[in-house]
Structure 1
């Protein structure tokens, strides 16, 4: 399976990655782990393995958005959050959003706890939009019977002088503040 990534840049820490080529999912995983897709998110999306950590589940959910895998997204949403219209809502967003990159900011996980938090920034562009945008969220995950589920998330307030959540290393006011809606 191949996904076309437009001629855009995404920052991952100190690296500026030019994403202007086809990404074959048999090669690199779209979650930006630098691992082969077959060794990273693919087993979770196929349902052959459960994500062992909240961060692994977060990465697999991002890959599910990239690959339009509504089944995985629904399966990994906490059962209390699943609505009858969830599948249709997800499918409606797929053709209008192109995901460009994922940057994990932090993960707070304790193997003995059944709750974990992953803060991330995901870069995307909406079809017919000129500028890339960022979704910055601190997601909460719950573990039930050794399976992690996404339950909710909050968008942290970023100060103008804070590091930009895109991972560029620049201050927010000099980087992505103008892309906030």
Structure 2
């Protein structure tokens, strides 16, 4: 079974060891991909544990539990990944598609991660909005208005 994170690796060798706590992500991109997989599998515990305590919403687990039944994750595209000001800060820009209820939706974000005690954590993100004539961030090479904007 391919991993939901879009890496083309088998799930058992890709994100599964992270979700089970057998390994820790060695890069911010690995953490981002594993968090997407956790969202797709309603693994609330992993999402909460990998969100830095200084920025994690107090009621995050309850919110995630509430949304997990009505959300189906459709795919992830990682657009870029780069180091921040130092070796312990990194940014990952991604595009994720999902259906909630009957409505198709997407998240386009540059997420910020920090590493503490050799563990990466999600801190926060800046949401992005592609222009209608921009190439769609999903990776299709189509214009956004002809692809995921619909």
TM-score for the superposition, normalised by structure 2: 0.93
Pairwise mapping of residues 1-181 of structure 1 onto structure 2 (< 5 A)?
A: 27-109=1-83, 113-129=87-103, 132-178=104-150
The question of whether the paired residues in 1 share the 8 Å contact of 2:112 and 2:124 is answered with yes
The structure having more radius of gyration, on CA atoms, is: 1
Q: CA deviation at 1:103?
A: 0.7
Structure 1 gap ranges (5+): 1-26
Structure 2 gap ranges (5+): none
1:157 and 1:46 map into 2 onto residues whose CA distance is 34
SS at 1:90 equivalent: helix
The question of whether the paired residues in 2 share the 8 Å contact of 1:134 and 1:166 is answered with no
Q: CA deviation at 1:168?
A: 1.1
RMSD: 1.4
1:74 and 1:56 map into 2 onto residues whose CA distance is 16
**4+ residue segments displaced more than 6 Å:** none
TM-score for the superposition, normalised by structure 1: 0.77
